[in-house]
Structure 1
Amino acid sequence: MIETLILLLQLTIAVVIFAVWIVRPKLETNYRAGNATNIFEEFEVYGLPNWSVYLIGGTKLGLAMLLIAGIWYSSVVQYAALGMGILMAGAIICHLKTRGDPLSRATPASLMLAMCILVTCLA
């Protein structure tokens, strides 16, 4: 039962990351900070340098791949979930520091952090 929950959470985290960073990086969403219409503008709103988009995106995609690999190599799951959780905590902080934005914009990152915590603790 717990193993199935962990597996479902791993896959959910990975699929969401792939969707955000591969399918939708240039698309406008209701959760982008400020008036950003894509992920590059969103990082600008946060005051982060352009290169950080590639660093954070690459790191998140790598961790998502490790979560998928964790289906067969369980020893990497906790590390990948912990790393992803740290990045999600950073995303939440960025959302909360953006003046004028509603708290709801931090909801996706908050849910991802909760899933990462569950995987880290249960795996």
Structure 2
Amino acid sequence: MNPIDYIIIGLKVIVGLSILNVWLIQPTKPTKWRGGDATTIIEEFKVYGLSKTFCYVIGFLKVSLALILLASIQFDSLTLIGSIGLAVLLLGSIIMHLKVKDPLFKSFPAFLFIVFNLVIIFFSI
């Protein structure tokens, strides 16, 4: 393996574990990144005008795609599914932050992970 392969693996681990952390470990904990004045993920979706059901659907998709991205470390054919899927959902996160006129810093994690996913995609095609 060349050095870029190790960087891509590192990016996959960072993105995958970070998404799992947000959705499985810290969904009810307040963070400075949540939209509006929300303290939980469900409250954040309400700030965006989205339902609790939609929150669960997005959560399922993000967790599934994060697991796919992590699995792609061993099964390279899964890389584009995980990275493209997460990049699209993260773009949706940024759009929601903009919709409710959040300060730009609240979009930073989603923006950063989109960049990471674009790097993964670029070196995977």
TM-score range, shorter chain: over 0.9
Report deviation, 1:96. Answer: 1.0
1:19 aligns with 2:17: no
Match of 2:74 in 1: 72
Aligned partner of residue 24 in structure 2, secondary structure:
helix
Aligned match of 1:95: 97
User: Which residue is equivalent to 1:45?
Assistant: 47
Report deviation, 1:58.
0.5
Matched, 1:111 2:112: yes
The correspondence for 1:36, drawn from 32, 38, 43, is 38
Runs of 5+ consecutive residues of structure 2 not aligned to the other structure: none
User: What is the total number of aligned residue pairs between the two structures?
Assistant: 122
Structure 1 alignment gaps of length 5 or more = none
Q: How far does residue 20 in structure 1 lie from its aligned partner after superposition?
A: 0.1
> How far is the alpha carbon of 1:2 from its aligned partner?
1.2
Q: CA RMSD in A?
A: 0.8
> How far off its partner does 1:121 sit?
1.0
Instruction: Specify the code of the residue in structure 2 equivalent to 1:58.
Output: F
Q: Percent identity?
A: 36
- Secondary structure at 2:11 match in 1: helix
1:113 partner letter: I
Residues 39-72 of structure 1: CA deviation (Å, up to 9, x unaligned): 0000000011111111100001101111111111
Post-superposition shift, 1:79? 1.6
Q: Is the 8 A contact 1:85 1:112 kept in 2?
A: yes
Secondary structure at the counterpart of residue 113 of structure 2: helix
Provide the rounded CA distance (Å) in 2 between the counterparts of 1:39 and 1:46: 11
Alignment correspondent of 1:83: 85
Runs of 4+ in 1 over 4 A off after TM superposition: none
The residue identity in structure 1 corresponding to 2:84 is: L
- Aligned partners of 2:117 and 2:33: how far apart in 1? 20
Once residues 21 and 72 of structure 2 are traced to their aligned partners in structure 1, the CA distance between those partners, rounded to angstroms, is 19
